[in-house]
Amino acid sequence: MSSNTFKYPTIYNFPPFFTKQPNLQTFQIQLQIWQDLILDYCKFYKIWSLSINGQPNTTTTSITDDDDDGEEDVDNDDIDIDVDISKNSIFKNDKIERYAKSDFILDIINHMIKNGKCEWIDANNHKFGLFIYWYTLEEWADKLYDWIDNTGQNNTVLTLYEIRKSELTENQEFNNINLNLLIKILEILVKLNKALILKDDSGSIVGVKFS
């Protein structure tokens, strides 16, 4: 197996793993293993956001992508609101022909939300999917600010594109980060007085000044 393929834990091939376990204690450990698996999986493939049916989410949310970077997001498959398990879903294992049912998937998601490991992108509209926090927002904020600090970019203005997609951040873990996730992280830094978000007349973000 090559190292650029995610190695699932052996329990992923254990058919009952996909059934909500009736024994409460077993169910708790099952939720925990699902959570760890999803976090490891997303971290491995740098998946910032999952759709509710367990696929990497490439759509952007209700917040418009007003980045002036001319980026080419690989959107925009329509996501079914119903939990429709199709290809490439972490909740489906073709090898053993098992998939998790929607109520169980929701249990897993709620468990992760409770632990601060994911969040609805739009609490009122679950079809936008989830942000998956393999690092917490605070940890991301630290990583971003450390990079600014270590590269002496305090007091310079950066565009969101430069942070996300430019050569500057090629080797950083937040390279290619989801735009809306980045904004959430910047908002944390703003609260800590470590960053200032610069907007144009129409309210679009044009850049960030770190302090």
Partner 1 sequence: MSRKGLASFENHSSQQTKFQNLGQQLLRSQHEELETQFQVFQNALTAFKEQYSAEIMENPKFRTEFSEICISFGVDPLIVSTDKNKSNTTSETDDKYNHLAMRIFEICQLTKSLNGGIIPIADMTRMINNEAGVDPMMSSLHNSIKEVDVQKAISNLKNIGGEIQMIKIGSSNYIKSIPQELNSDQSIILATCESIGHVSVNLLRDNFGWRKIRCKSNLEELVSNGLVWVDEFGNEKLYWATSWINKEL
Question: Interface residues with partner 1 (CB under 8 A)?
Answer: 10-11, 13-19, 21-23, 25-26, 28-29, 95-98
Specify the residue, 33 or 113, whose C-beta has the smaller distance to partner 1: 33
Q: How far is the CB of 132 from partner 1 (least distance, A)?
A: 24
- d(Cα 174, Cα 140) in Å, to the nearest integer? 8
Is the separation of the CB atoms in 52 and 127 below 8 Å?
Answer: yes
Specify the residue, 26 or 86, whose C-beta has the smaller distance to partner 1: 26
Specify the residue, 98 or 126, whose C-beta has the smaller distance to partner 1: 98
Is the separation of the CB atoms in 98 and 12 below 8 Å?
Answer: no
Q: Note if the bond before 57 is cis, omega within 30 degrees.
A: no
Q: Note if the bond before 125 is cis, omega within 30 degrees.
A: no
Q: How far is the CB of 13 from partner 1 (least distance, A)?
A: 5
Specify the residue, 14 or 44, whose C-beta has the smaller distance to partner 1: 14
Q: How far is the CB of 53 from partner 1 (least distance, A)?
A: 18
Residues 6+ apart with CB under 8 A from 96: 13, 15
Specify the residue, 9 or 166, whose C-beta has the smaller distance to partner 1: 9
Q: Is the alpha carbon torsion for 200, 204, 207, 210 positive or negative?
A: positive
Specify the residue, 87 or 95, whose C-beta has the smaller distance to partner 1: 95
Q: How far is the CB of 23 from partner 1 (least distance, A)?
A: 5
Calculate helix-pair angle for 24-45, 102-114, nearest 10 degrees.
80
Closest by CA to 140, choosing from 103, 90, 195, 88, is 195
Q: How far is the CB of 5 from partner 1 (least distance, A)?
A: 15
Calculate helix-pair angle for 137-150, 179-191, nearest 10 degrees.
80
Q: How far is the CB of 192 from partner 1 (least distance, A)?
A: 18
